[in-house]
């Protein structure tokens, strides 16, 4: 398993699904995951301060786990099949199936790590500096994003860029 961080959420046009880009913490690959607008909104919303009087579902799940004495240890992207990603949240060592968008939102809300199976990264990951391409100085983040989109999307379009905070 490799640790990932949320690099950004990209929302282009109403006819294109939002794109969440996860980046290896130690490595040069990114994992682009297309998802529903509500899934992407949950991920972006997980970076906002929670409302203790009107918790969102991810806040509620986190509170229930805490109240029952559990710990959300990590979330994992565990499989990729026919264009679909599969995830799990690990609570007290027990993996529970989850949608990737929910797992990522929970990770952002709770601060737990996001990990990805090596075979998923090998299959669906994109090298920002692919083998055979001349190495160059550190590229600016927007340039790296554009390169990722060129490798992953048949018709990349300009869109709203929502930078995610670094998980340091």
- The string of pLDDT tens digits covering residues 7-52 is 888 876 677 788 889 999 998 899 999 888 788 888 887 877 877 8
- pLDDT score recorded for residue 144: 55
Half-sphere exposure of 104 (CA within 13 A, CB side): 34
Q: How confident is the model at residue 114 (pLDDT cuts 50, 70, 90)?
A: very high
Can you give 12-53 as a three-state secondary structure string? Answer: CCCCCCCEEEEEECCCCEEEEEECCHHHHHHHHHCCCCCCCC
Confidence grade of residue 158 (pLDDT, cut at 50, 70, 90): very low
Residues 53-102 pLDDT 10s: 887 888 888 888 888 988 999 999 999 998 899 999 999 999 999 999 99
What's the number of CA atoms in the CB half-sphere (13 Å) around residue 142? 5
In this predicted structure, what is the pLDDT of residue 161?
39
Residue 145 has pLDDT above 50, yes or no: yes
């Amino acid at each position: 398993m490799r640790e990932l961080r949320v690099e950004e959420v990209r929302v282009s046009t109403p006819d294109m699904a939002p794109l969440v880009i996860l980046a290896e913490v130690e490595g040069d690959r990114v994992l682009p995951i297309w998802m529903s607008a509500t899934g992407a909104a949950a991920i972006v919303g997980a970076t906002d301060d929670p409302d203790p009087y009107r918790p969102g579902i991810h806040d509620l799940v986190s509170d229930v786990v805490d109240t029952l004495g559990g710990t959300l240890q990590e979330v994992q992207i565990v499989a990729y099949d026919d264009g679909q990603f599969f995830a799990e949240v690990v609570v007290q060592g027990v993996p529970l199936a989850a949608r990737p968008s929910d797992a990522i939102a929970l990770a952002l809300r709770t601060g737990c790590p996001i990990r990805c199976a090596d075979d998923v990264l090998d299959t669906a990951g994109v090298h920002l500096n692919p083998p055979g391409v001349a190495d160059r100085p550190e590229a600016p983040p927007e340039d790296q994003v554009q390169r990722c989109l060129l490798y992953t999307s048949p018709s990349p379009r300009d869109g709203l860029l929502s930078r995610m905070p670094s998980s340091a």
